[in-house]
Structure 1
Amino acid sequence: MRWQEEDIDLYIGAKEYVDTLLIPLMPLSMDDKFDINKLTVQGELLTIFANEIEKQFKGRIFLMPTYNYMFNEESSLELTRLNNWVDKIEANPFKHIFLLTLDHQWKKHERDLAGNLLWFPAIQSGNVSSKESQVIIKDQINQLSELIRSYW
């Protein structure tokens, strides 16, 4: 289920069966060309992963809109902000909360997060549509799906 009107109606009617929340974490930056290009590719990958996982587990996982934050900001402040955001959402209640990201900076704060971190490295190729990238993406999605199942 996603953050859209038709899915919200389904969620409200079946809240007790939707026990898992998936929150994509996406850094933003407009500082330099390298950061912009790298983060844009990461954003595309994050969207692909989140949508595929939601599709596989539709009816059990609720996909929140992407949580955006500024790249290279003070991480402790962002950690507090994210945890406050998750705490408010968690009141619904979700048994499992997964934070999906390609940003390795979150690994440093993993034990302090108000959810389970699903971090994976970004594909180095700039073309997420290439055959090679698609094979890698499919494999990573399968690994993430298995990891999520292990929590259930």
Structure 2
Amino acid sequence: MKWVSNDIDMYLGAKEYVDTVVLPLLPISFGDDIKQSASMTEFISLLNIPLERQFKGRLMMLPGYPYLKSDSDDRRLQLINHWETEFKKYGFKHIFYITSDSDWRSLEEKLEGTLIWLPSLPLESMDDKYRNQILEDQISQLIHLFVKKWQNND
């Protein structure tokens, strides 16, 4: 389910079946790495659409969570811990974070949720057929990761 009013109506009618929340982590930088941060955001956003479609009724796909690349690790953890508290308060058993920002990997053990890091690919320089194939391959791997996590924790 997406964070749109029609899907929220569906969620409200079937909350007990929606046990998973996905929060895409999207870096924002206006410095020398501005293009890289935009590329990461684009890549993760393109993956979220089919992932949400595949698991509609089981997961809530939140809008991307933008954060400043210049934020300290402590600041990032403080904000994410607040999100995790809210997720658990409302009954989400499984919390996933999806990002292309490798900085999160050093914080992974401090998160209660599952971090999925995917290296960003330069999609703008690929032809459409190759780009779509790469996205399909990544989505297939994501689907496998979600199912595996659910099987191990249910």
- Bin of the TM-score, shorter chain as denominator length: over 0.9
> Could you tell me the TM-score, scaled by structure 2's length?
0.91
On the 8 A contact 2:96/2:113 being kept in 1, the answer is yes
Q: Pick the aligned partner of 1:73 from 68, 71, 74.
A: 71
The aligned amino acid for 2:64 is T
Partner of 2:61: 63
Partner of 2:26: 26
- In the alignment, the residues of structure 2 paired with residue 46 and residue 57 of structure 1 have an alpha-carbon distance, to the nearest angstrom, of 17
Aligned length: 150
The aligned amino acid for 2:101 is D
**Residue 82 (structure 1) shift:** 1.1
The aligned amino acid for 1:133 is R
Q: Which runs of 5+ in 1 are unaligned?
A: none
- In the alignment, the residues of structure 1 paired with residue 127 and residue 58 of structure 2 have an alpha-carbon distance, to the nearest angstrom, of 28
> What value does the CA root-mean-square deviation take over the aligned residues?
1.4
SS at match of 2:124: coil
Percent identity (aligned): 38
Partner of 2:35: 37
Q: Pick the aligned partner of 1:114 from 106, 109, 112.
A: 112
1:34-54, CA deviations, whole angstroms, 9 ceiling, x for partnerless residues? x22111121111111111110
Partner of 1:91: 89
Partner of 2:5: 5
